[in-house]
Amino acid sequence: MRKLLSGLICVVGFTLNMGTSFAQTQGEELVFTSISVSPRSQLKNFISNVQSASGTFEQAQVVMGWGAAEGQTLKTSDLQKGEFIFERPGKFLWIVKEPLEQQIVSDGKKLYQYDPDLLQVTERNVKQAIGTSPASILFGNSKIEESFKLTNLPEKEGWLRATPKQSDSGMKYLDIHLVDSKPVEILILDSFDKMTSIKFTSLKEGNPKGSSAFKLQNIPKNVDRVKL
């Protein structure tokens, strides 16, 4: 199983009149205006008010330092680049374009991973695959605090820490950096003390592909299919 899947999957409404507004026009880049809103409230605002969005990402393994939340310099390796679309609750498309192509798709019930170089599609139950993970925070519903303890990190402006309430979640915590009520980076520390950084750019509200986004694309007929 690729590092991407382990990094991403391993991956109460806040009303607008409490100091935050956001662009609602589908296809336009999300622009928020926040007035002294805590990172915890910004995250809950994003989850409650942004029902679908698309963007690009860069993911890498952190090989030195323990994250911006502790104020140390990060050095990364194994850089991956791609794009994503999500629609709450639980539907998403995560495509790696560099260095090797890969697709991860959830239709809300099943999660599929396609590795073209292996000619293999892996299928699993989405609840079992996502569980308490970064994906459940980014693409799930507003009941985030049922699974995570959220703590603002006052030493780093705009950062909060989400700690899983389940000890067998596969990660110790993830730190989320929010700017104007949208996530720009997450740092995931897994149960083996390995850290992954995922940076988000060009975040736009809305699903530009509709329901077709949550289906595997261009899959050859001769692929091996594995159910887990």
The reply to whether 14 falls in a domain is no
Tens digit of pLDDT for each residue in 192-219?
A: 989 999 999 999 999 999 999 999 988 9
Contact 19, 35 (CB under 8 A): yes
Q: Is residue 170, in this structure, part of any structural domain at all?
A: yes
- pLDDT score for 62: 86
Residue 179 in domain:
yes
120 domain residue, yes or no? yes
> For residue 69, what pLDDT band results from cuts at 50, 70 and 90?
very low
Domain of 186 in residue numbering reads as 39-227
Listed in sequence order, the residues at least 6 apart from 148 whose beta carbon sits closer than 8 Å to its beta carbon are 132, 137, 162, 163, 164, 165
> Do the domain assignments include residue 32?
no
Q: What mean pLDDT comes out for the span 29-57?
A: 82
Q: Got the DSSP string for 31-77? A: -EEESS--HHHHHHHHHHH--EEEEEEEEEEEEESS-GGGTPPPEEE
Say whether pLDDT at 38 is over 70: yes
pLDDT reading at 22 higher than 60: no
Report in angstroms the alpha-carbon separations of 73 from 62, 66, 67, 69, 77: 10, 8, 7, 10, 14
Say what the pTM is.
0.78
Q: Which CATH number fits the domain that encloses residue 167?
A: 2.50.20.10
pLDDT higher than threshold 70 for residue 76: no
User: What is the C-alpha R_g of the chain?
Assistant: 17
**How many folded domains does the chain comprise?**
1
